[in-house]
Amino acid sequence: MSPILTEQQRALWQSLLTAAHHIVITCHRGPDGDAIGSTTALASWLRRHYPEADIHIIAPNIFPDFLHWIPGAEDILVYENHEDGVRPIVEAADIVIMCDHGELKRMWTLGDVVRDHPTPRIMLDHHLDPEPDIADLVISHPDLSSTCEVLLRVILELEGLPFTTSEATSLYTGMMTDTGAFTYASTRPEIYELISILLSCGIDKDKIYRNVFFTYSPNRMKLMGYLLYVKLDIWKKAHTSVMTFTNAERRRFGAVNGDTEGFVNLPLQIYGMKLSIFLREDTEHPCIRVSLRSVDDFPCNEMAAEFFGGGGHKNAAGGEVWGTMDDALELAKKAVNKYIDQLKN
């Protein structure tokens, strides 16, 4: 595998962390497996290599229940609705390490605190077009599968194979979830070399898969059936599907945080489907969360940036619409019409 760090980056990484006594690790709002995997693995590795440092993981808001089993997730602090207790920890940090995002706005109000706090920052990410001057050290590789792969390769270059089983478990979880269990963004041979390295650290990849994908409640299964039977709308000429999910439906089915994870991928199993759009009401803010998934060469990230104020990867992206579900549906129609030629092809 070719190196992903320059000599200058290696030296800056070492100097920034050696000088740090209070380290804060953050991720994007709505943390997913890659965000939780990378932050927990990094926190554990840092605690072993810099035992005198005070290290905290802070997530902008709550994360899905099906990720709570990840080693170290129990120590994650949540900023939203706990601002008075968590803000002083950020303000005491002498370095902030941001994982799995390239824009401060992806952290919402936590991003404002980080922006206003004059301390060095490190960014580890794999998304396109990071914000200019977001960090003193930017390690960004959009060609890699996940931030966990970025972190894994950084640490391998720095120290060889220093992972515990827990750290390897976190890293594999992030790589697995950000590639749909290695069904997309995972054709490079290096990914499978890295998996073999993680296996040598003692991970149980089958158990990791079950922990993420086979821990659903009866209510979640009933909700999935309802959304597919009642709420799935096929725009046949555009090879596009749309599903909507309201908070009233959330209450009806007793859905908990994370219960809709993966639903956006299901319509792509339909023959000829090229784009799947999932619109769901946010539980805490007056907005509609937008998830986009595609196959082949359709650019979800371009559609997300142009119409939904978001971004992501070519085949997996998201954003939001500040308005009603009707507003979001209307915008989705405009987006599909704009890209109709690519969808028809």
| Single-letter code of the amino acid located at 226 | Y
Q: Are residues 335 and 269 in the same domain?
A: yes
pLDDT at residue 284, as a whole number: 82
**CATH number, domain at 286?**
3.10.310.30
Q: Number of structural domains, the chain?
A: 2
Q: Can you say whether the dihedral through the CA atoms of 64, 151, 184, 191 is positive or negative?
A: negative
Q: 113 and 248, same structural domain?
A: no
Phi/psi of residue 140, nearest 5 degrees: -130, 125
**What integer is the mean pLDDT of 265-273?**
96
For every residue of 47-106, DSSP letters joined together read HHH-TTSEEEEEESS---GGGTTSTTGGG-EE-TT-HHHHHHHHHH-SEEEEES-S-GGG
% of the chain exceeding 90 in pLDDT: 92
- Domain membership of residue 267 (yes or no) is yes
End-to-end Cα spacing for the chain: 36
Q: State the average pLDDT for the chain.
A: 96
Domain boundary among 197, 212, 227: 212
Distance CA(215)–CA(66), nearest Å, equals: 7
Residues 169 and 226 in one domain: no
Confidence of residue 161 (pLDDT cuts 50, 70, 90): confident
Q: Is the pLDDT reported for residue 345 higher than 90? A: no
- Indicate whether 194 and 175 sit together in one domain: yes
pLDDT of 215 > 90? The answer is no
Query: How many CB atoms are closer than 10 A to CB 250?
Result: 18
**Looking at residue 175, which CATH number applies to its domain?**
3.90.1640.10
**284-288, 298-302, 323-327: range with lowest mean pLDDT:** 284-288
For residues 280 and 339, state if they share a domain. yes
- Same structural domain for residues 312 and 186? no
Q: Same domain for 275 and 155?
A: no
Residue 185 is predicted with a pLDDT of: 86
CB 268, CB 276: distance < 8 Å: yes
Q: Are residues 78 and 130 in the same domain?
A: yes
Cβ neighbour number for residue 200 with a 10 Å cutoff: 11
Would residue 1 count as lying in a domain?
no
Task: Tell me how far apart the alpha carbons of residues 48 and 159 are, in angstroms, rounded to a whole number.
Answer: 13
Residue 254 lies in a domain: yes
**Any domain includes 24:** yes
Tell me whether residue 300 is in a domain.
yes
Answer whether residue 160 shows pLDDT above 90.
no
Domain check: are 161 and 271 in the same one?
no
Do residue 154 and residue 256 come from a single domain? no
| 162 lies in the same domain as 291 | no
Q: Are residues 245 and 206 part of one domain?
A: no
Tens-place pLDDT, residues 33-81: 999 999 999 999 999 999 999 999 999 999 999 999 999 999 999 999 9
Q: Residue 125 belongs to what domain range?
A: 7-212
Strands 121-125 and 240-245: unpaired
Whole-model pTM?
0.91
Domain boundary residue among 161, 192, 212? 212
Q: Is the pLDDT at 146 greater than 90, yes or no?
A: yes
Structure tokens, 74: 């129990």
In a domain, 2, yes or no: no
Q: Which of 179, 212, 245 finishes a domain?
A: 212
